[in-house]
Amino acid sequence: MHLARALGWGIVIYAIMYLAWSGLVIYGFSLGMLSLIARLSVLACISIIAARAMHLSNTKDIVGNALVWAAVAIGLDMVFLVPFSGWGLYASWSVWAGYALIVVFPLAYTMLWNRRG
């Protein structure tokens, strides 16, 4: 695993998700099923792009790097969100589900892709 590349992609994933969420909030689409679908789609796309850009093809590499990406998201949430929303942010199951999906999306994609090919 290349830690510097994993950290870099973790920051990229966080930045794009933050930008997507900000756009949804600005235009009044932050609540509801459409918002959830949009956010999940962005997360799936960017985490799969990151895995492909890093040429991750086996489960061990994907999980290791994706765990770094999730750790980056947790750390950046501490820096940017906790000062405004407090530590109660981490009491929400949906926040932890989001961190888990950072790992699950590229893993599921690669497993399905390898099954096809």
The DSSP string of 2-71 is: -HHHHHHHHHHHHHHHHHHHHHHHHTT--SSHHHHHHHHHHHHHHHHHHHHHTT--SHHHHHHHHHHHHH
How many domains would you assign to the chain? 1
Dist CA 43 CA 17 (whole Å)? 7
Say if pTM beats, i.e. exceeds, 0.85. Answer: yes
How do residues 75-103 score in pLDDT, each as one tens digit? 999 999 999 999 999 999 999 999 999 99
Q: Which domain holds residue 86?
A: 3-116
Task: Quote the pLDDT of residue 113.
Answer: 76
Summarize the confidence of residues 52-70 as an average pLDDT. Answer: 90
Q: How far is CA 93 from CA 35, 82, 97, in A?
A: 17, 16, 6
**Gyration radius of the chain's alpha carbons:** 14
